[in-house]
Amino acid sequence: MYINGEWRNALSKKSFESINPATGEVIDTVPDGNAEDATLAIDAANNAFPSWAGKTAYERSAILYKAWQLMIQRKGELARLMTIEQGKPLRAAANETQYAADFLLWYAEEAKRVYGETIPSARGDQRFIISKAPVGVVAAITPWNYPISMLTRKLGPALAAGCTVVLKPAEATPLCAIAVYKILEEAGVPPGVINLVTAKDPKPIGDVFTSDPRIAKITFTGSTAVGRTLAKEAGHNLKRISMELGGHAPFIVWEDADPTHAAKGASLVKFLNTGQACISPNRMFVHENQAEAYVAELTSRVERLRAGNGLDDGIGIGPLVNEAAVAKVERQVEDARSKGAKVMCGGHRLMESGLDKGHFYAATVLTDVTPDMLIYREETFGPVAAVVPFRDGDDVLAMANDTPYGLAAYVYTNDIAKAMRTVEGLNFAIIGVNDINPTSAAAPFGGMKSSGLGREGGHEGIEEYLESKTAGFSI
Ligand code: NAD
DSSP secondary structure, 412-459, as one string: E-S-HHHHHHHHHH---SEEEES-S----TTS-B--EETTEES-BSHH
Angle between helices 57-73 and 90-110 (to 10 degrees): 160
CA-based end-to-end distance of the chain: 52
Q: Nearest C-alpha to atom 8 of ligand 1 is from which residue? A: 170
The arrangement of secondary structure in 2-245+451-474, i.e. its CATH architecture, is: 3-Layer(aba) Sandwich (3.40)
Structure confidence at residue 183 (pLDDT): 98
Q: Nearest C-alpha to atom 26 of ligand 1 is from which residue? A: 143
Q: How far is the CA of 388 from the centre of ligand 1 (A)?
A: 28
Residue 96 known to be catalytic: no
- Residue 103, amino acid: F
Q: How far is the CA of 473 from the centre of ligand 1 (A)?
A: 45
Residue of 110, 176, 185, 278 marked active site: 278
Q: How far is the CA of 246 from the centre of ligand 1 (A)?
A: 8
Q: How far is the CA of 472 from the centre of ligand 1 (A)?
A: 42
Residue of 244, 379, 456, 464 marked active site: 244
- Residue 228, amino acid: R
211 CB near ligand 1 (under 6 Å): no
Instruction: Give the HSE-up count for residue 285: Cα atoms under 13 Å, Cβ half-sphere.
Output: 26
Q: Nearest C-alpha to atom 27 of ligand 1 is from which residue? A: 222
Structure confidence at residue 262 (pLDDT): 98
pTM of the prediction? 0.97
Pocket test for ligand 1, best of 203, 208, 226, 230 (most atoms within 8 A of CB): 226
Three-state DSSP at 368 gives coil
234 CB near ligand 1 (under 6 Å): no
Pocket test for ligand 1, best of 85, 88, 278 (most atoms within 8 A of CB): 278
Contacts of 21 (CB under 8 A, 6+ apart): 86, 87, 172, 318, 319, 320, 321, 322, 358, 359
407 CB near ligand 1 (under 6 Å): yes
Q: Which CATH number fits domain 249-440: 3.50.50.60, 3.40.50.300, 3.40.309.10, 3.80.10.10?
A: 3.40.309.10
346 CB near ligand 1 (under 6 Å): no
Q: How far is the CA of 387 from the centre of ligand 1 (A)?
A: 27
275 CB near ligand 1 (under 6 Å): no
Residue 456 known to be catalytic: no
Question: Where along the chain do its domains lie?
Answer: 2-245+451-474, 249-440
10 CB near ligand 1 (under 6 Å): no
CATH topology agreement for domains 2-245+451-474 and 249-440: no
255 CB near ligand 1 (under 6 Å): no
Element (H, E) at 250: strand 249-253
Measured CA to CA, the distance from residue 205 to residue 311 in angstroms comes to 33
Q: Nearest C-alpha to atom 13 of ligand 1 is from which residue? A: 202
- Residue 282, amino acid: N
Instruction: Give the HSE-up count for residue 420: Cα atoms under 13 Å, Cβ half-sphere.
Output: 3
Structure confidence at residue 121 (pLDDT): 98
Task: Please tell me the chain's helix, strand, coil percentages from 3-state DSSP, rounded to the nearest 5.
Answer: 40, 25, 35
143 CB near ligand 1 (under 6 Å): yes
Contact 18, 28 (CB under 8 A): yes
96 CB near ligand 1 (under 6 Å): no
- Residue 466, amino acid: L
Which residue ranges of the chain lie beneath pLDDT 70?
none
pLDDT one-digit tens code per residue, 262-312: 999 999 999 999 999 999 999 999 999 999 999 999 999 999 999 999 999
Ligand 1 atom closest to the Cα of residue 170 is 9
